[in-house]
Amino acid sequence: MIATTSLAQSVTPTIKAYFTDSYCFDLSGAKVLAVEPHDSSDKHLRIILDRTIFHPQGGGQPSDTGSIIFPETGLVFNVEALQYNRDTGVISHIGQFSDGEQLSNGVERLKPGHIANLSIDEAARRTNCRLHSAGHFLDLMMKQVRPELVPGSGSHATGMSWVNYTGDVPAAERNLVRDALQEAVNKHLAVPVAVQIEMNESTMRRSIQFGSFESCECGGTHVRNSDEIGKINITKIAKNGKNGVRVSYTVE
């Protein structure tokens, strides 16, 4: 059996189906590349496939959850978490069998080359798409309201969605900036635009673009049109660190 530390080194990079279609909620015909226990607890399994629709946590976006059915064995695997190895480009699916199948039996029964049919939680993916796209759209509007602010990290999860900026907004001005940002968001969301996704095959870098607005690199999942985001509410602008602010938002 391949050791956990070397498993991701032994297989080819995972094809990320969500890169080209964020609304691909089911995928049939993926193939098993490797299987092994995830850790010494003997409770969770690590499965690597040749392709996946599961987005691992990253870029502020939560991991997908869902299930994998292996028709040749009848096993159903619940995906609870994912791990992405940036060095190898391999995504590991981590979880347990739904019917209580012993992990050791699963390792023996699942073989490289077995077919895997994948399904993700559609409602959660759609929410993640809306929140992630909203964060990018908010930033496009911030470039109009306060172009001197430099975007940094962000979170695009339910109940904790925000974008961090380097640069100060004095406390006395934060409500004014929030109102101006909200006005810009409302104005431009009222005119739906397509969300374009492009992949640079030579650099393997992916970018998204709202209509004619400036594009930006992103590996997350997104809506197809800005009107799918819904209403973006700028809830708060607060100080973040010594020289930064955090813009929090929700969608409805």
Domain that holds residue 228: 125-251
- The pLDDT value recorded for residue 102 is 66
| DSSP-assigned letters across all residues of 185-231 | HHHHHTS--BEEEEEETTTTEEEEEETTSPPEE--S---SBGGGS--
Q: Which residues does residue 234 pair with via DSSP β-bridges, in sequence order?
A: 249
Check whether residue 104 and residue 203 sit in a common domain. Answer: no
**Between these two residues, 11 and 244, which has the higher pLDDT value?**
244
Q: What is the mean pLDDT of residues 164-192?
A: 96
Share of the chain above pLDDT 70, in %: 92
pLDDT in tens, 185-197: 999 999 999 999 9
- The pLDDT value recorded for residue 107 is 76
| Burial (0-12, 13-18, 19+ Cβ within 10 Å), 49 | buried
Check whether residue 234 and residue 152 sit in a common domain. Answer: yes
Whether the predicted pLDDT of 172 surpasses 60:
yes
Whether the predicted pLDDT of 104 surpasses 60:
yes
Number of domains composing the chain: 2
User: Is 0.85 surpassed by the pTM of this model?
Assistant: yes
Q: Among 120, 152, 170, which residue terminates a domain?
A: 120
- The pLDDT value recorded for residue 1 is 30
pLDDT in tens, 78-90: 999 999 999 999 9
Check whether residue 70 and residue 134 sit in a common domain. Answer: no
Check whether residue 64 and residue 149 sit in a common domain. Answer: no
Query: Any idea what the CATH number is for the domain that residue 11 is in?
Result: 2.40.30.130
Query: Any idea what the CATH number is for the domain that residue 216 is in?
Result: 3.30.980.10
